[in-house]
Amino acid sequence: MNSIQTSAPSATVSSCLPAGPNVKVHAIRTGFVQVRKSQQQSKGTGLTRAANMLFDPEWTDWLPIYAWAIEHDEGVIVVDTGETSRVHQQGYFPSWHPFYRRAAHFSVHPDEEIGAQLRRLGISPRDVSQVVLTHLHTDHAGGLTDLTNARFWVSEQEYKRASGIGGRIQGYLPHRWPRWWEPNFIRFDHGPLGPFDSSMSLTRSGDVLIVPTPGHTPHHVSVVVRGSPSLFIAGDTSYNQQMLLDGKVDGVSPSVGIARATHAKITALAKEQPLVYLPSHDPESPERLTNRSVLTVE
């Protein structure tokens, strides 16, 4: 199993800490997002649950938007592309959509975009060999235009859900995807990983795996970097680690039951092996990455 080299944030991009020869993992903050608290943590049921995400008077603090770069001896793998500074251009978001009118604020500067930050790490965006998109919400796919040479992996069902007018109604921005973008569809053909029934390996050595983690979206995925400890790059399986431990589901997840079932698999994996849990909007994710602070489940 590979030794993992991790990195902690310095300003927006992280700096490397030597820990082994095989893998380096970087947390890359691509700006901030602020949402209503009922999105971060579900309140109510049915239509009330959906309405709370638009009308809850309480907002979260500014939450980081993390993408991740895995330097591997088989090539650089990026997990999610973060957000783009184009969100501040007039007309970038559909003015008719209630979510963008009422439920989200963004703060992204050009030097926070993933391409610029990879270059500060000494990685040319053109040298990224693979990109995994945990899902296609804008704060995870906004930086697609910076990574033109990579092989992109996304769930086929997520891609179909996000496409066309149906996707736009659900809050995706398919009209902002680059015209040249042609993703590859994830094939869960590598066998199980602990409680996860199936996985897909991104490396010949089998140490970087995609696993299905439905919840936040029905076909959401996460990435596991196997090591000692392993890293669980979690996308939006929860907004932070404490919510996972408390069994709290966000307001976006269409099925609370499915999201909780995914939470149970993550915590079960953490009981089987040391696991660092890294959701995309948790301010404490980079510190856990640096310190290799494992998920402790009672």
Cα-based distances in Å from 186 to 51, 155, 198, 209, 258 = 33, 5, 11, 11, 20
> What does 152-175 look like in DSSP terms, one character per residue?
EEE-HHHHHHHSHHHHHHTT--GG
* 239 located within any domain: yes
Exposure string (b/e) for 114-141, b if CB count within 10 Å is 16 or more?
Answer: bbbbbeebebebeebebbbbbbbbbbbb
* 151 located within any domain: yes
* 77 located within any domain: yes
Rounded CA separation 57/53 (Å): 9
Residue 298 CB coordination number (10 Å): 5
Residue 21 CB coordination number (10 Å): 10
Whole-number pLDDT of residue 15: 36
**Any idea what the CATH number is for the domain that residue 67 is in?**
3.60.15.10
Whole-number pLDDT of residue 175: 97
Chain-centroid distance, C-alpha 213: 11
Q: Which domain holds residue 278?
A: 4-291
Map 265-280 to HEC letters.
HHHHHHHHCCEEEEEC
* 297 located within any domain: no
* 164 located within any domain: yes
Residue 191 structure tokens: 């066998």
Whole-number pLDDT of residue 21: 53
* 296 located within any domain: no
**Total tally of structural domains belonging to the chain:** 1
- State the pairing for strand pair 275-279/208-212: unpaired
* 217 located within any domain: yes
pTM: 0.94
* 25 located within any domain: yes
CB-based burial label for 187 (10 Å; 0-12, 13-18, 19+): exposed
Mean pLDDT by 10 residues, the chain (298 residues): 46 41 90 97 93 96 98 96 97 96 96 97 95 98 95 98 97 97 96 97 96 98 96 98 97 97 98 97 97 94
Whole-number pLDDT of residue 22: 76
